[in-house]
Every structure is written in structure tokens, then in C-alpha cells.
Amino acid sequence: MDGRKNSTRAEAQSRFSRLRRRRALPPLSTDLRLAALDRRVAPVLGRDNPLVSALLSEDTCWQIAREDWQRRKPRPWRLEERRTWRAEGAVLENKRDRLREQAAELGLAPSTPEVRRGERSLRG
């Protein structure tokens, strides 16, 4: 009986290790994300061009500010807080537009109207 118990355990372990081996990890992307454009950029561009590097860092700051802003959404009955929150959202949207214009000037994105097509606004 003790031998049977050990063989069952060995079978279970070998089956488990086979299952683990079958799953492949998804390939990791090495590209950097421009959140304001919803596009990815090769890291080589940021390394070779200081303007692209500055754009990537500005975009990262904008993305963090946007996520913080979205988390602080006030309840609908708090009218004054909601007005202030929406005004802050408008400032963030203007910042996104400036980032898009800079990216278009650097050749990383098409001009602003084409990028905007079919996109939701930040205003809540």
C-alpha cells in the first residue's frame, strides 16, 4: 500500500510538471509606450534623439497624472468638487493635445486630427 501511495504521488508530480512546461510565456515587448498617442516607440529612438526622450518622459508624467485624476473622481452629488475635477481633466486633455503635436513634429505620429479619430475624451 505504501508503494502504491508513492507511485500515485510520482504520477501526479510528473503530470503537473508536464502541464507547467506546455504553457509558454507571452513574448515581452521592448517598445516604450506613448500613452497620449496609444502607440509604441522603439527605445532606440529615445536613446538617439533627446527630444524623443523628453517626449517619452513628459508622456509618462501625463499618464501618471491622468491615472491619479481618474482615481479621484468625486461622487455626482458633490457638484463643486466635480466642477474642479472636470477643469483638471480639461487641463490634462490640453496637455495630451500638446504631446500629440510634439510627436507629430518629431515624426512619431500622424497629424493631430487623424490620431484623434474615434477616440474618447477624458472629460467625465
59 near 36, Cβ under 8 Å? yes
The answer to whether residue 10 is domain-embedded is no
Coil, helix or strand for 94? Answer: helix
The answer to whether residue 109 is domain-embedded is yes
The answer to whether residue 9 is domain-embedded is no
Run of H or E including 41 = strand 39-41
- What per-residue confidence (pLDDT) applies to 64? 94
The answer to whether residue 4 is domain-embedded is no
The tens digit of pLDDT for each residue in 24-76 reads: 666 666 777 888 888 888 877 778 888 988 999 999 999 999 999 999 999 99
Cell of 105: 513634429
User: Which residues, in sequence order, are bridge partners of residue 41?
Assistant: 32
The answer to whether residue 39 is domain-embedded is yes
Please tell me the total count of domains within the chain: 1
Domain that holds residue 69: 32-116
- Using a pLDDT cut of 70, give the percent of the chain over it: 65
CA 57 to chain centre: 14
Tell whether pTM > 0.75: no
Q: Cα angle at 72 between 76 and 34, to 5 degrees?
A: 125
Under DSSP, the state recorded for 23 is: P
- What per-residue confidence (pLDDT) applies to 84? 95
Cell of 98: 500638446
Coil, helix or strand for 34? Answer: strand
Under DSSP, the state recorded for 78 is: -
- What per-residue confidence (pLDDT) applies to 87? 96
The answer to whether residue 112 is domain-embedded is yes
